[in-house]
Structure 1
Amino acid sequence: MGNPSTRRTVLATGAASALLLGCSKYGDENSGGAPEEAPSVAPSGSASGGEAPPGGKELTRTADVPVGGGKIFKDEKVVVTQPEKGGFKAFSAVCTHQGCVVANVSDGTINCTCHGSKFRVADGSVAGGPAPKPLPARQITVEGDSISLA
């Protein structure tokens, strides 16, 4: 028994590490000390590194997003809203409570049916429920009648 590390110590250390990892919150992924990157805005007509076509990936047409409501794009994890006629906003579709993708947009709110959180279509702020913070804004480009991820 020359090794002071016992099986119990190793298991306890492993359990503590797993506990710490399991307790991180959505949005805390960058707790490693590196500064968070702000969302980038690609100038119209340019592509970054050849990854996306000019203006980014088209999500929808302006006519498909109701005034006072919005449309959810589950694959892209983004929700696009139109709080006022001709004014479009975009937010992450991942609820800040426990990471569920929001389910619908109605009556001026973006709604997560997992635990009842609601977010305002105008700014993504919390309107009700257990969500601790607003939905993060996402960058979109509106060109003509096309809405694209920036």
Structure 2
Amino acid sequence: MDISPSVNRRQFVAGAGVIVAATAGAATLAACGSNDSSSATTTSAAASTTAAPGVLAPVAQIPVGGGIIVDGVVLTQPSAGKISGFTATCTHEGCKLSGVTDGKIDCPCHGSKFNLDGTVAHGPAATPLPAVAVKVSDGNVVRG
């Protein structure tokens, strides 16, 4: 007489999902409760500004002659202290811009490039990036 429970594939997979979810949840809670700041790493401007509401990025994180993309905004610093903001959506077909390299804002979809002042450097985009109002407050760039 076989007294072992019978588990079909669907029940097994569902049970495994619950175990994985519970393990991930416990790991997340353990990380939240940690006071050890040495284990935290910042990988982007967006991650480093979550503690200060309204702050897009510290000015120090925006390279002179370059820029960064954070929270759907391209922040550029063409010259020291001159900060500009633009939408991070390409005006050609609405793709999300991927970054700023060699003084140009890049669109990965069709190769459009924009200058640090939002104007088109290379098409197929024909329209400049719309400006986003930003200002510097206490060394941080905020919407403004």
* SS of the residue 1:82 aligns to: strand
Quote the residue 1:72 is aligned against. Answer: 69
1:106: Cα distance to partner?
A: 1.1
Distance 2:54 2:94 in 1: 24
Q: Extract structure 1 runs of 4+ deviating beyond 6 A.
A: none
Superposed CA RMSD in Å reads 1.1
Number of equivalenced pairs: 92
Query: Structure 1 vs Structure 2: percent identity of aligned residues?
Result: 48
Distance 1:120 1:77 in 2: 17
Letter in 1 for 2:68: K
Distance 1:133 1:77 in 2: 18
Match of 1:60 among 52, 57, 73: 57
Q: Normalising by the residue count of structure 1, what TM-score does the alignment of the two structures yield? A: 0.59
1:149: Cα distance to partner?
A: 1.1
Structure 2 portions without partners, runs of 5+: 1-52
* SS of the residue 1:115 aligns to: coil
Match of 1:119 among 100, 109, 114: 114
Higher RCO (Cα < 8 Å, 6 or more apart) = 1
**1:145 aligns to 2:142 (yes or no):** no
**1:130 aligns to 2:124 (yes or no):** yes
Structure 1 portions without partners, runs of 5+: 1-55
Distance 2:130 2:115 in 1: 12
| Larger Rg, first or second structure (1 or 2) | 2
1:144: Cα distance to partner?
A: 2.5
Q: Which has the higher helix share?
A: 2
* SS of the residue 2:114 aligns to: strand
